[in-house]
Amino acid sequence: METTLTSELCENLRSWRHHLHRNPELPFQEHGTAAYLAGILETLGGVEVTGGIGGTGLVATLTRGSGAGVIGLRADMDCLPLAEAGDHAHISRNGGAMHACGHDGHMTMVLGAAAALAAGGGFDGTVRFIFQPAEEPGRGARAMVDDGLFDTFPVDRIYGLHNLPSVPAGHFHLREGALLASEDNFEIRIRGRGGHASMPEVLVDPLVVGAEIILALQTVVARNIPPSQSAVVSCTEVVTDGSRNAIPSEVIIRGDTRSYTPEVREILERRIRGIAEGLCAGYGASCTVSYIHEFEPTVNHPGCVEAAARAAISVVGPDGVNTTADPVMGSEDFGVFAREVPGCFAFIGNGTEPGKGGTPLHSSDYDFNDDILAVGVEYYVTLIRSLLPVST
């Protein structure tokens, strides 16, 4: 893809991304990553760097002119606990850890935007480059906010990008409203009366109760959620204390739910509790249900989407921008930031060919497509210059 960035910056983008890919770090352990980013940012003219926010989080601030506007650009830093199976030269050096979701590319695009804006200016105001830890477990954004992120480093708006395999390289997908779902985790702990498998009549079999609960939970979306809304309820794990010839005394069912609105989240939690408790009572068993809110839904602000779409179209043309993209049931920790300040999260296509951007996220042979690095940087630079224009 053609780019207006200097050849030196384009070379740096690949070098930075490959270094980050070779040296992945797990959630809240991104000490080396933060130090590497800070070391580069501190060489850029006028950039002030502050670390240790929410653990290993990092904020770099760049101001030009006297404009009052402040825009945040956010990238995630952590990796996944996977052993990499790729064969490229920049394969992970840390066993059991790899950038299988493209956070190395996300960091590089924000870092590149900082370098381009520090060198070229062209805006009047302040940009904050926010590097967030622990996105994968959905803990880092809240940690930064609770640590005073927006009190110490206020922003008017915040923007972010995530690569998306199966979408043509460099194309943008975004939408107003909910783009990514919330994720809630539940655990149902069923207690019965275990014993010898040959005498079920004197026992209360929690496995039978658990099976009924798992089946009944499949009706929650079909019979409790309005057809105009979307939700998913998935049971993902069953654990018992039984054995080959012993009916268990306890069964644990774990799973997660996905949805886009607080109202649907409330219905899901209420019905999961009601079904579990009701069926247990009917069988003479008992249960406890825990329901934990993990990820907030990522909801885009209309005005922020409008600005993002204009910037994307300016970079790749109207045919490369979909402003009515379908929402995704995956989750993103950016949702916490977007609840605090107006924001827009968008997808940038990573490619469609296997081995060239088309490998699914969270795969052991995934790799970020270097060809879209410059596109992401130009998008961010164009966005900042449009939101913080220099007076003429």
The predicted-structure confidence for 289-331, as pLDDT tens digits, reads as follows 999 999 999 999 999 999 999 999 999 999 999 999 999 999 9
Please tell me the distance from the alpha carbon of residue 360 to that of residue 243, in angstroms, as a whole number.
38
Q: How confident is the model at residue 3 (pLDDT cuts 50, 70, 90)?
A: confident
**pLDDT band of 392, cuts 50, 70, 90:** confident
Each residue's pLDDT tens digit, 26-81? 999 999 999 999 999 999 999 999 999 999 999 999 999 999 999 999 999 999 99
Q: Is the pLDDT of residue 96 over 90?
A: yes
CA dist 112 and 37 (Å) reads 11
Record the tokens describing residue 143, joined without a space. 């940690």
Task: From 259, 269, 263, 265, select the one nearest 289 (Cα to Cα).
Answer: 269
The three-point CA angle 177-180-181 to 5° equals 105
**262: number of Cβ within 10 Å:** 12
What contacts 212, CB < 8 A, 6 or more positions away? 279, 283
With respect to CATH, is domain 7-181+297-387 assigned 3.90.79.10?
Answer: no
pTM: 0.93
Beta bridge partners of 157: 71
Contact 160, 341 (CB under 8 A): no
Give the residue extent of every domain in the chain.
Answer: 7-181+297-387, 182-295
Q: What is the pLDDT of residue 2?
A: 67
What is the residue-averaged pLDDT of the chain?
Answer: 97
Phi and psi angles of residue 103, each rounded to the nearest 5 degrees, phi first: -65, -25
**Predicted confidence (pLDDT) at residue 1 exceeds the cutoff of 60:** no
Q: What is the CATH number of domain 182-295?
A: 3.30.70.360
Nearest-CA neighbor of 298 among 262, 267, 336?
A: 336
pLDDT mean over 213-235: 97
Give the torsion through C-alpha atoms of 11, 17, 22, 28, to 10 deg: 150
Q: Give residues with Cβ within 8 angstroms of 362, minimum separation 6.
A: 80, 82, 100, 101
Mean pLDDT for the stretch of residues 147-168 = 98
What average pLDDT score do residues 111-137 get?
98
Q: Looking at the predicted structure, is the pLDDT value of residue 87 above 90?
A: no
